[in-house]
Amino acid sequence: MLCALERFAPLPLQEDFDNAGLQVGLTEAEVSGALLCLDVTERVVDEAIDQGCNLIVAHHPLIFRPLKRITDANYVQRVVIKAIQHQITIVAMHTNMDNALGGVNFKIAEKLGLKNVRFFAQKEVDGIEGGSGVVGEWDKGMSAEDFIQEVKACFGVKCVHANQLLERPIRRVAICGGAGAFLLGDAIAQEADAFITGEMHYHDYFDHEQQIQICVIGHYESEQYTKEIFKSIIEEKCPKVRCVLSQVNTNPIIYL
């Protein structure tokens, strides 16, 4: 099953800083069930145990930085211990899934109903086509106010961070899930009317008034549907494997 995921989102597509792939456990274990999630926390491991799943497929790597010791000092180390104790394998599909054809950004575009979706900021690694963001269009444009309400409804967002509202209709939309500020200039070069991402720095909002509508919806919110991609891959390539979508909200940010 790991091979099926990596054929869809090959590991060479991951960024240099990343640590996608096998995180904890054995690759040869027979899969009793796969729990699909965005992040791996202790509650998620408990959910896997309760659901009888011995595989967790996550978007964000549990082990991102090297571990010098395995104790109970933080949640990462505690999760590693609990996973090993319960013989649970943990796999992460991170920036390789962000950069893959049909990956995270394509899923966001699908949820929004965009058409003619294609990569921008393209890359090719070992003959594999990928890209850090996508751009697509609606048949008809909409006002900035309607655009923001559409995005909020689609992703269950209580509020968005936006710059000055665009005074022209929004039809072409650029997307980069997660932390996508680095693609703002590329989105403008694509002549996108709007740019949707998960998080940006304060100063990135300056100097783009009436140039592009920035719409920042939250890191978790932008990537919450990634587990649906995992489900579709596994169900197509490994139909005998039982898939469970995690019901644990791992977003560490709350809105008060």
Round to whole Å and give the CA distance between 18 and 229: 20
Place of tokens 């595989």: 55
Give me the pLDDT at residue 75, please: 96
User: CA neighbours within 13 Å on the CB side: how many for 46?
Assistant: 7
Mean pLDDT across 228-237: 97
Residue 234 clears pLDDT 90, i.e. is over it: yes
Round to whole Å and give the CA distance between 75 and 130: 33
CB contact set of 21 (below 8 Å; sequence gap of 6+): 6, 11, 91, 92
- Give the pair of three-digit tokens for residue 165: 């509202």
Give me the pLDDT at residue 223, please: 98
Q: Are 198 and 222 in contact (CB under 8 A)?
A: yes
Strands (E), 59-127: 89-92, 115-125
For residue 83, CA distances in Å to 29, 76, 100 come to 14, 11, 28
Shortest CA distance to 57 belongs to which of 33, 30, 82? Answer: 33
Q: Are 23 and 91 in contact (CB under 8 A)?
A: yes
User: Chain-wide mean pLDDT for the chain?
Assistant: 96
Round to whole Å and give the CA distance between 163 and 129: 32
Mean pLDDT across 34-41: 98
The Cβ of residue 8 has, within 10 Å, a number of other Cβ atoms equal to 21
For residue 134, CA distances in Å to 106, 108, 129, 160, 197 come to 7, 9, 13, 20, 11
Mean pLDDT across 120-144: 93
Give me the pLDDT at residue 149, please: 97
Question: pLDDT exceeding 90 applies to what percent of the chain?
Answer: 93
Residue 137: burial class (beta carbons within 10 Å; 0-12, 13-18, 19+): middle
Identify the DSSP state of 12. G
- Give the pair of three-digit tokens for residue 225: 């549907």
181 confidence band (pLDDT: 50, 70, 90): very high
Mean pLDDT across 205-225: 97
Give me the pLDDT at residue 15, please: 95
Question: pLDDT exceeding 70 applies to what percent of the chain?
Answer: 100
Residue 115 clears pLDDT 90, i.e. is over it: yes
